[in-house]
Each structure stands twice: as C-alpha cells, then as structure tokens.
Amino acid sequence: MDKVHWQQQIDILQAIADHSGAVIGAKDLAGHYVYVNQQYSRLFNRPVQDFIGKTDEDLFSAETAQQFRRADQLAQQSSVAISVEERVEVNGIALEFLSLKFPIRDQQGQLFATGLVAADISKLKELQRQLQSLADHDPLTRCYNRRRILEIAEVHLKKARRYQQDFSILLFDLDHFKHINDVYGHAIGDQVLVGFAERVQSELRKPDDFGRIGGEEFIALLPDTNAHSALALAERIRLKIADWQFAALKGSRLTTCIGIAEFSLQLQRMDELSAAADHALYQAKAQGRNCVRMY
C-alpha cells in the first residue's frame, strides 16, 4: 500500500472518530494522552493539543483522575474491552459516561497503550432515576409506596437482628376518612392525605422512613428506636394532626390512631411486627380513636 493510500486510510479513520459523536482517546501505559478526537476536545472545552503528552492528573480533579487511572489499569490487564460507568464534572455539571476501555497492542502483541470510547449517558441515567422514583413512591403523597417501604423494612430488620439494635414501627390510620371522602369529596380527601403525610414526615428524623401502605394507612420505620421513644414520637404526631386546622373540612376535626410495635425476640419478622402494630392500632380504634397504643 503506497503512502497516499495510507494517508487516505488515516484520514478516513480520523473523520469517523471526529464525527461519531463518541468521546475517543488513547493514552500510553504511563497515562499520557497520545490521541483525543474532536468530541473529546469539545466536551472539555480544550484544544486537542492541550491533551497530548499530559496525564489526567494534569487535566482533572484528583478524584476524577484516580477514577480514570483505575479503569485504565484494569483495561491494561484485560485481553478484551471492559465497560465502566464514569462520572466527571464539566463546567460545574456532573456528567455520566459509559466507557469502553481496551488494551492496544502492536503487531507483535506487545501492549503499548490504552484506548477509550465513551458515550454520554447522563440523560439516560436521569431518566432511569426518574422511573425508579415513580416505581418506588406513592404518586399522591410522594412518600414510599407499599412495595418499597416493606423492602426498606427488611433492610432495617436485617441490621437489627445482626447487631441487636432497637427498631420500632408506627402504623397510622386516619380516623373516619371514609366520612371525609363521602361528605367533602375525593379531591379534598386527597388533600388531607397529602397534608397528613407532610406533617408526619416533618416530625421524623433523617434515618427514619415513611410510606403509604394502602388507602389512609401509613407506616413509619424507626431504626435505633425503642418502643418508649417511639411512643413519645407518636404522641407528638397525634397532637400535631389533632391541632391541624384544615379549612376545607369546615370545622371538622381530623385525627389519627397509631399502633406501635418494637423488634424483639418474639417479633423478628416484618409480618410479625406489622401484625403486632395492627393489633395495637385496633385497640386504639376500639378505645375511641385519636390515640396511641403500644403492643
């Protein structure tokens, strides 16, 4: 193949690299850039020449440079391309990339460089997070839905069993909620549920979790909390709901019953804890509502 043909081949490959939309680069084994395409240059707002001969430590934050270097070293040890997700800040915005990194060898099979082809997947990852949020949260109150809150409960219980830590749950039921829906309409009922969830969550700690398990029933998960501390919290919440002046109810009083159960030798599974809290909740209803009962 003559020199002209070789140059044409190089020009073709360069054009493909620059118009592919992918971020493409290569570094020597010590991490110095030997090639970047135009997309690499545009992404980081630096001329191509600024990269050549420099390392990631020269160009990026220490955290980003370490992340890139670890992946490069893994690729050098592999016989095939490896896939990694990488995060890098560009102009103050965190971007996420799916990167293929691969060893580059000469005709004798000697490793001499590491290659990179990366695609910006930031929008895809954000969409995934949004879809996951929709799957995990109640669409009305935005607290966790039944499936997700019970999954989280199992994590708390596993930790409580392993380390013999305190763990309690609060089970809530809004008093006479059917009457609210029947008299004032479901739109007002929905507003009540949203306001109730907001008021309960304002009393919870950061480690606590809160979810809607159906209708007007909610649950709070309280790690590192014994039953007596849970009782004090439940009373604060009960009073806060009873003091809530919701204008749309035209003077009608909104109250809640709360049942409490604590992790113990007798109550180690979530179904056992839920049944115990439900029993305490039933007692609260039977004793006139607007009250808290502990199993």
- What is the full DSSP assignment across 228-252? HHHHHHHHHHHHHHHT---GGGTTP
Cβ-contact 208, 220 below 8 angstroms: yes
Contacts of 106 (CB under 8 A, 6+ apart): 112
AA identity, residue 259: G
Tell me the one-letter amino acid at 293: R
* Token pair of 173 as six digits: 């039921």
Cα separation of 267 and 272, whole Å? 5
Question: Phi/psi zone of residue 209: left (φ > 0), alpha (ψ -120 to 50 degrees), beta?
Answer: beta
Mapped onto helix, strand or coil, the DSSP state of residue 259 is strand
Catalytic residue among 57, 63, 89, 216: 216
Residue 60 DSSP one-character state: S
In a 3-state reduction of DSSP, which class is residue 24?
A: strand
Virtual torsion, Cα 262, 264, 267, 270, nearest 10 deg = 60
Nearest CA among 29, 27, 31, 25 for reference residue 111: 29
Taking residue 240's Cβ as centre, other Cβ atoms within 10 Å add up to 15
Identify whether 216 is a catalytic site residue: yes
206 in Cβ contact with 253 (< 8 Å): no
CA distance 109 to 65: 28
Active site positions, annotated: 216
